[in-house]
Amino acid sequence: MVPKDYSGFIESLEGGLPAEYWPDALKSLWYDAKGNWEISHDLAQDIHDDLGSWIHAYLHRKEGDNFNAAYWYAKANKPFPTITLKDEFKEIVDRILSA
């Protein structure tokens, strides 16, 4: 089952893998939260829409590559954020779960 809210998503991190039927965007963030940036990035770069670009931007911002992040924020039609990474992560998860 896809988590109903952010708290449910956080609880899902106790499991070994995200559910296969989850959207790739949610899987990407799940792997990021579990500390696996590479899988998260691989999933994000295969999502060819604004949401995928946003996740891609967030991941590059997280790794400290602000130049690359700025490119992906522009592709996502989003300004470079001034909020914390933690707040942005929650914002993206909430967006996915509300779709």
Q: What is the pLDDT of residues 43-63, one digit of tens each?
A: 999 999 999 999 999 999 999
Q: What is the pLDDT of residues 6-49, one digit of tens each?
A: 999 999 999 889 999 999 999 999 999 999 999 999 999 999 99
Q: Sorting pLDDT into bands at 50, 70 and 90, what band is 1?
A: confident
Q: What is the DSSP letter of 22?
A: S
CB burial of 41-75 (b: ≥16 within 10 Å; e: otherwise) equals bebbeebeeebbbbbbbbbbbbeeeeeebeebbeb
- Residue pair 68/45 in contact (Cβ under 8 Å)? The answer is no
User: Per the domain annotation, does 78 fall within a domain?
Assistant: yes
Q: Which domain holds residue 59?
A: 6-98
User: Per the domain annotation, does 94 fall within a domain?
Assistant: yes
User: Per the domain annotation, does 11 fall within a domain?
Assistant: yes
pLDDT given at position 99 = 86
User: Per the domain annotation, does 1 fall within a domain?
Assistant: no
Number of domains making up the chain? 1
User: Per the domain annotation, does 46 fall within a domain?
Assistant: yes
